[in-house]
Structure 1
């Protein structure tokens, strides 16, 4: 699930501190790996039958109903449900527990971009010991790629974020704008819209690290190459340049709204037509329905534009669940995790809660899911578009093992290009320089690509 993507200064500072804590813990060998039951306790079915108590940290709204359904199915198991805070807040607590060697839950929600940091600290159970690697066919390619880190299966996907273009059809029709299928057409649409109405913009983007990296991913970029503690960063590679060539035209010509995302003004712009599209993850419908109700019937969904008309996509947002090595009953925790993210009952609860877009192929391909026709989207069967997008996600993307820190300094580097309406390339160069310096200071071997 996607949450706030542009932090305040205080939140960025907290994120920097949290990132430093887990990186330092990992590189000095301080982890919780010695406290779990390990591969000697792999009988998940037996553990579920025997029962016990486990703790689950999550912020998803569906969690309470999911836990209740699980405990009904497995009455000998008790799950202590804890909302430890959203993303960075939870990660700080989790990283402190990793560093201390105690206090971690049995199961925790971790977004895909943050997984490498916890995997690096050897604080996550490799789920292949439970045979969960055989579940690959159950999940779409993007999320499955994200939970496989450095040759280990460190979690199971909770939800997925294949990107799509959400657009205000009412605005497009008003100004005679065709739905763009390529990025060149998207830029043309941006110019036509803003010329017709100086208050209207094709989209808003004041500098979002998750969006930028997803766009680089969709363009075929591989700016981060990670092999253990060896890292190569090239934010000037061919894919990155492909993205910036398009996006610079929007930035430099001031064709993007600078309204920060997830603010009252942003929601207002989505509601009154001042922000005409969103290029974002498939979890967005629930956000629009709940937060922009006044625009019901106006919005539609189309595939994300591409560079040459060939269908290709990336992920934006989404979370996994992991089993922490500190767990004293890893087999039981793994059993709960498998039920949570790979059972129809649990996934149905999750989807109906509006919490996100499923990562399970069976749910994506079900007739009931594909034929949903939300009134908010004027009866369009939007899931058919979103599921097609999930099938076109490029494999092989890697996040940095200190991505939380990387995101925290994006506003102070690349964000400056947005605010000054100048080329993103210079901002990306500044970001790369700081990322290389930070990584080497933390004990990684980081080089420019």
Structure 2
């Protein structure tokens, strides 16, 4: 249930067709059984669990079927049908088609945090304050809670979080006598030292990654997207974005980044050998390394993400939970399962699979923070991730068509990674298309 770049590589035309159908449309309305304005009490939620009910959930999460099975044992009259209809953007396209048709949507669906505005601002999702779930705020990390609140509404209960950190290959760093960088200037110097020592080694790999770009702009203080209802501003030339672009341009100019495509076999080979020496990513990358780079167990470590100016300001990359669709007519039972997934036993089941939690009680648990991870040489990596999450800068907003935005990133900014344009020029091209698309969809954009 994470925001992985490979999950977001869907053609622009396919997404554009799906998004344009509903961006500012009525979006299908509420379920037959419960109106959009009705408040649902806890008594009604519990009563719904005593009635024969089948809920349909669309999700690519590998842990959710186990969560559903546990829920069914506690509530035998409720059946949970978990369907994997595609990962990331593929599922979103099908979801948009169901919204356009006014039928066929599931009761619940996995929606990544960056995609919430796309559905929430068009009325396709249920505001969970209807069930009193706004009272659960204290149970979750503030940064994760901010991600699921859009335009005054609450559209998910956070399940996992993706605080940014620096994953580095200690074996490679030791081999070339490189110190762990604490600032981006030190990171650039580490890349130069690595390349000078052996041109087959790179500080990292990047041939264009919209999610990483957004996260690095975020941590630099950039706030390029501002959304107020149907009014949007796009400014990829603000001070924070320029700070990021100036820093990253040095990595590109000095060819310190491997051009290997992320998630390719060659990329995984580079991570295994240590020739790709670092990854700046969300906490979920720990699970990817364990499952896909097992031969490098013991070689990798986790450090705080480098800063721009010595301040421990971080950002998030990834994270998702379940959102409730307005089309559903079994919303009380759906609310019970949604809460079970994020705030009750279901969250424990998901956490056990390696998902980084968003619940405050877990993030404050000394048992969790002190757990030693043998893959990372016995390091207490949860402390690094938790500290990062505590330092996430406030105020970031995603566009209400961010799924589309990231799908066209490489088309518009990709030439910056091949040296045919500067990164700022690539971001300017991206901005031009984002403004154009927003206006075509009926937003007021400047």
**Given the alignment of the two structures, is residue 230 of structure 1 paired with residue 231 of structure 2, yes or no?**
yes
Once structures 1 and 2 are overlaid, which stretch shifts more, 29-38 or 135-144? 29-38
Once structures 1 and 2 are overlaid, which stretch shifts more, 47-56 or 281-290? 47-56
Q: What's 1:33 paired with? A: 30
Q: What's 2:266 paired with? A: 265
Answer yes or no: is the 8 Å Cα contact 2:25–2:122 preserved in 1.
Answer: no
Q: What's 2:125 paired with? A: 124
Q: What's 2:419 paired with? A: 420
Q: What's 1:306 paired with? A: 307
Q: What's 2:98 paired with? A: 97
Q: What's 2:353 paired with? A: 353
TM superposition score normalised by structure 2? 0.96
Per-residue CA deviations over 1:357-386 (Å, capped at 9, x if unaligned) read 111111222233212212111101111111
Q: What's 1:12 paired with? A: 10
Q: For 2:99 and 2:65, how far apart are their aligned partners in 1? A: 26
SS of corresponding position for 1:108: strand
Q: For 1:207 and 1:87, how far apart are their aligned partners in 2? A: 18
Q: What's 1:436 paired with? A: 435
Q: CA deviation at 1:7?
A: 7.3
* Structure 2 unmatched ranges of 5 or more: none
SS of corresponding position for 1:160: coil
Q: CA deviation at 1:40?
A: 4.9
Q: For 1:224 and 1:297, how far apart are their aligned partners in 2? A: 40
Per-residue CA deviations over 1:270-293 (Å, capped at 9, x if unaligned) read 010111000000011111011001
Q: What's 1:280 paired with? A: 281
Q: For 1:164 and 1:350, how far apart are their aligned partners in 2? A: 21
Answer yes or no: is the 8 Å Cα contact 2:139–2:360 preserved in 1.
Answer: yes
Q: CA deviation at 1:435?
A: 0.8
Change (3 A) 1:47 1:234: same
Answer yes or no: is the 8 Å Cα contact 1:16–1:405 preserved in 2.
Answer: no
Q: For 2:52 and 2:178, how far apart are their aligned partners in 1? A: 59
Q: For 1:36 and 1:50, how far apart are their aligned partners in 2? A: 14
Answer yes or no: is the 8 Å Cα contact 1:23–1:402 preserved in 2.
Answer: no
Once structures 1 and 2 are overlaid, which stretch shifts more, 88-97 or 51-60? 51-60
SS of corresponding position for 1:346: helix
Q: What's 2:323 paired with? A: 322
* Structure 1 unmatched ranges of 5 or more: none
Q: CA deviation at 1:3?
A: 5.3
SS of corresponding position for 1:420: coil
**Given the alignment of the two structures, is residue 331 of structure 1 paired with residue 332 of structure 2, yes or no?**
yes
Q: For 1:61 and 1:276, how far apart are their aligned partners in 2? A: 29
**Given the alignment of the two structures, is residue 362 of structure 1 paired with residue 361 of structure 2, yes or no?**
yes
Q: CA deviation at 1:78?
A: 1.1
Misfit runs of 4+, over 6 Å: none
Q: CA deviation at 1:121?
A: 2.1
Once structures 1 and 2 are overlaid, which stretch shifts more, 43-52 or 405-414? 43-52
Answer yes or no: is the 8 Å Cα contact 2:203–2:276 preserved in 1.
Answer: yes
Q: What's 1:381 paired with? A: 380
Answer yes or no: is the 8 Å Cα contact 1:106–1:326 preserved in 2.
Answer: yes
Answer yes or no: is the 8 Å Cα contact 2:145–2:158 preserved in 1.
Answer: yes
TM superposition score normalised by structure 1? 0.95
Answer yes or no: is the 8 Å Cα contact 2:3–2:112 preserved in 1.
Answer: no
Q: CA deviation at 1:311?
A: 1.1
Answer yes or no: is the 8 Å Cα contact 2:167–2:301 preserved in 1.
Answer: yes
Q: For 2:402 and 2:285, how far apart are their aligned partners in 1? A: 23
The correspondence of residues 248-263 of structure 1 with structure 2, limited to 5 A, is: 248-263=249-264
Answer yes or no: is the 8 Å Cα contact 1:157–1:320 preserved in 2.
Answer: yes
Q: For 2:75 and 2:258, how far apart are their aligned partners in 1? A: 50
Answer yes or no: is the 8 Å Cα contact 2:340–2:347 preserved in 1.
Answer: no
Change (3 A) 1:422 1:249: farther
Q: For 2:405 and 2:33, how far apart are their aligned partners in 1? A: 31
SS of corresponding position for 2:339: helix
